[in-house]
Amino acid sequence: MFGYLVGRLIQAVMVVFVMSVIVFVGVYAIGNPIDVMIDPGASQEIRENLIRQYGFDQPLWQQYFTFVSNVFQGDLGRSMVYNIPVTSLVFSRLPATLELVLVSVGIATLIGVPAGMYAGYRPNSIAAKLIMALSVLGFSVPTFWIGMLLIMAFAVNLGWLPSGGRGEVGQFLWFDTSLATSNGWAHVIMPAINLSLFKMGLMIRLTRAGMVEAMGTDYVRFARAQGLPDRQIVFGHIMRNISIPLVTVFGLELGSTLAFAVVTETVFNWPGVGKLIIDSILQLDRPVMVSYLVMVVLLFVMINLVVDLIYARLDPRVRLKGGS
């Protein structure tokens, strides 16, 4: 197990290094933020002073190593637009995104896994076919279009829910969160449902495929021959065997939801990190863009590492392979 962990850590470090180079070069190629920051009629002297102030006169490789050395010191730079440290800016928006992601992934899991289990256990029933049809809609319909329909139906026509914003924030334990107030839940429920539909469709289809495959295996036939009740077979045997791909997909989708909640946050005017990165791209706020993308890479690497460890815990063959 130790050898498996060391191998995964080495891979993680390599991935972070390669992706940080790609991100830095890609953001550098987007454009010069000085063109956005200053008036077009500003003198050349003012322009050159700003370029030297932000270090844009240095070669690209030197800018990159300056950025990396600052990251190791906990300094991700300073926003050119908000004129505050990027770390403070991102972490001020991160709680809102975490609330949205946790609620949406919770909805997708709590509905998607049981629905997929039923669709796989009774594959020929009308309810199972309806569940699979709805899962196809979750894959096919664009997120922004569903979001606008939800706003039109529940905010404009019915007036049940607010159309956007985060809502009232309360305190839960040591954290300030909108999930601690009823007004906060009223604001989060629509964007969370909108963000969860694709994940829910994926969980339904993955769980159903695992159930259908497991129902035809020898160990299920043997368990039935022993007279075990269906509930014990499903939850005691089948779920344990299909949990490995579910855990893997859950971890990856958790990371992707946190990183790419941009569309939903924009449609519902949710003040999270996704909306921050859209505003930063429009304003060419390079420190925020680079820091956000590097943090996303780190997030994915950490989640993948945790998923790999859980995978190895569930399947001993992975540990043996990694140890050898």
* Per-residue model confidence as pLDDT tens digits over 83-107: 888 888 888 888 888 888 889 888 9
Identity of residue 210:
G
Instruction: Report the predicted TM-score, pTM, of the whole model to 2 decimal places.
Output: 0.74
Tell me, what's the pLDDT at 29? 64
Tell me, what's the pLDDT at 258? 73
Average pLDDT over residues 96-121: 88
Is the pLDDT at 262 greater than 60, yes or no? yes
* Per-residue model confidence as pLDDT tens digits over 8-34: 778 777 887 887 788 777 777 666 666
Weakest mean pLDDT among 37-46, 97-106, 220-229: 37-46
Between the two ends of the chain, the Cα-to-Cα distance in Å is 10
Is the pLDDT at 323 greater than 50, yes or no? no
User: Crossing angle for the helix pair 86-121 and 126-140, nearest 10 degrees?
Assistant: 150
Of 191, 305, 184, 190, nearest to 255 (Cα)?
A: 305
pLDDT band (50, 70, 90) for residue 315: low
Domains of the chain: 1-80+284-324 (no CATH), 90-271 (1.10.3720.10)
CA angle 173/177/178 to nearest 5° reads 135
DSSP conformation letters of 286-304: HHHHHHHHHHHHHHHHHHH
